[in-house]
Every structure is written in structure tokens, then in C-alpha cells.
Structure 1
Amino acid sequence: MIRIEEQSSGFSMVPDLTALLDIIFIVLVFLLLTANSRVYQMDMDLPATSQAQASVASEPAKLQLSLFQDNPIWGLGEQRYQTFSAFEQAIKQQSQDQTKPSVSLASERQVPVEHLLKMLELLQQLEIETTQILMEKNND
């Protein structure tokens, strides 16, 4: 037979913190779920419809920028660059030689969007307002 030892009827000096821990845990989960994270955004002007703005380029652009899936990622004309800083310096040098340079941007399909946004941010910093984005026609 199993015998249970009786506990002394005296009060324990250690308080029961189970209820307090439950409340702290619930409040912590509530605060984590409702915490706001910062959302970064970049303003862009996009065409209203794809049919209205899609057209064949009339003349080739002076600066031809490329994004590749494998290293080196960044391309300017026929030259490819390992680092973004080298690529940035090359674009700055090329754009200073011209007034209002025309830019065309081509990217492989599997390139991460963050690289495209980084390049568009650089073009915005250089105050290049018009950029032709080269695309393949989708047969959907």
C-alpha cells in the first residue's frame, strides 16, 4: 500500500508564484504580438496599366545596368562588379560624364528584390529620374 506522509499544518514562508508567472507570461505574449516593427518604404511612380506603358524603347540607353543571379551580381555595360561599392563608384563616374543620362535596367528572374531596390535607391540618390526597366514579354 502507498502511504502519503502528512505535511505539517504550518504556513510556508515561500509564496506561491504560479499565478503571477501566468499573468506575466500572458502580458509578455500580448506585448510581443502587438509590438510594431518599422516598415521601410521607397516611393515609386508605377504605370496605371501594363498595356498603357509597355512600349519598345526608341533608342538604347547610355547606361545599361544589369543584375545577375550568381556572383558577381552587379553589372554596368559589359563589366561586372563583385561589390556594390565598386559598382556605385562606376555608375557615379559614368553619370557625371553625361547630363541627364538615360538608364536601362535588366535583371534575371531569380535575382532577389532587395538588390533591385538597392539599385533603384542608388539611382534616386544620383537624381536619375527616368529609367527603362527591360522585361521579357509574358504570355499569360
Structure 2
Amino acid sequence: MISADGQAGASAQLNVGIDLTPLIDIIFIVLVFLLLTANSQLLTLPVDVPTETDSTLTGLSQKQHISINILTDAPHWALDAKQFDNFDQFEAAFIQVLDASPDINVVVAADKNAPVQPLMTVLALLQRQQITNTQILMEP
């Protein structure tokens, strides 16, 4: 609109540009989604379990063994019922017992309500020490 004095009105000046705010919002949302989902790395620990369907549970052997206990409450690790304040102390004690008698059998006894992460940490320790034959206690 042109007024009587020949100048354009204020409403004509406001509609000159396109509002890109909604487009920029969508681009940022897609960018955040891609950044959050692109680097998800899953860590795995291979565990071999018996494959025979007719295998039965056997009792604990009477040979000399060391028991690793996974407890419900922190600290989660115990060695023959002796709790440790952190995993580094537990690992040092376990390696000391293992060095003293390398042929000792290792038995893992986890509480059924214990979290999975402490058990996986112990299994990784056993794998680092190249212990391939371990008994895991289960309720019948």
C-alpha cells in the first residue's frame, strides 16, 4: 500500500523475508538424533555354555576349590566369603591365591538378585587370567 504521501506502508516491509525458524529446529532435532545413535558401541564377552540338551546339573566337586561370591549389595565381590572394598583389592587377592595353587578349581556363586555387571567383571577377570574351566553354582 502506498499512502497519500507516496511511501510504502509498514505491513509491506514485514512480509519481505521467509521465516526459517521451523526448518532450523527440525534440522537440529535430526542432527541430535543422528549424533546420539551413531556411536552406540555394544561390548560383548563370549561365554561358552554346555550345548547338550540332556546335560544334568552335577554337584560341586570335592576337590580343592576357591569360591568367588557375587553379592547383592556393594561391595559386590567376595573370595571365600571374605568381602573386599573394591574390585582392585579383590583382583589382587584372587591372583595371589591363583599363583599359590594354579590347579585350584574356581567356583562362581552369584546371588540371584545380584546385578549382572559385577558378574561380567569377574568373568572378564577369569578370561584375562586364561581360566577356561569354571563352575557356576545354581539352585536346582
- State the TM-score, normalizing by the size of structure 1: 0.78
- Cα distance in 2, alignment partners of residues 132 and 54 from structure 1: 11
The code of the aligned residue for 1:42 comes to L
- Cα distance in 2, alignment partners of residues 52 and 91 from structure 1: 30
Is structure 2 residue 59 aligned with structure 1 residue 56?
Answer: yes
- Cα distance in 1, alignment partners of residues 60 and 70 from structure 2: 19
Q: Which runs of 4+ in 1 moved over 4 A?
A: 11-15
Which of 130, 133, 138 is residue 133 of structure 2 equivalent to? 130
Is structure 2 residue 114 aligned with structure 1 residue 111?
Answer: yes
Return the offset for 1:35. Answer: 2.6
Aligned to 2:48: 45
- Which is worse superposed, 119-128 or 70-79? 70-79
RMSD: 2.6
Aligned residues, how many? Answer: 132
- Cα distance in 2, alignment partners of residues 47 and 131 from structure 1: 12
Return the offset for 1:26. Answer: 5.5
- Cα distance in 2, alignment partners of residues 71 and 94 from structure 1: 22
Return the offset for 1:99. Answer: 2.4
Return the offset for 1:73. Answer: 2.1
Return the offset for 1:109. Answer: 1.1
Structure 2: unaligned runs, 5 residues or longer: 1-8
Kindly tell me: are residues 83 and 7 of structure 1, through their superposed partners in 2, closer, same or farther at Cα, counting changes over 3 Å?
Answer: same
Matching of residues 70-109 of structure 1 within 5 Å: 70-109=73-112
Larger Rg: 2
The code of the aligned residue for 1:64 comes to S
Return the offset for 1:98. Answer: 1.5
Deviation digits for residues 54-80 of structure 1 (CA, Å, limit 9, x no counterpart): 222332442111111123321111321
Return the offset for 1:20. Answer: 2.8
- Cα distance in 2, alignment partners of residues 55 and 132 from structure 1: 10
Return the offset for 1:14. Answer: 5.7
**Percent of aligned pairs with the same residue?**
37
Kindly tell me: are residues 18 and 73 of structure 1, through their superposed partners in 2, closer, same or farther at Cα, counting changes over 3 Å?
Answer: closer
Kindly tell me: are residues 86 and 29 of structure 1, through their superposed partners in 2, closer, same or farther at Cα, counting changes over 3 Å?
Answer: closer
Structure 1: unaligned runs, 5 residues or longer: 1-5
Kindly tell me: are residues 88 and 29 of structure 1, through their superposed partners in 2, closer, same or farther at Cα, counting changes over 3 Å?
Answer: closer
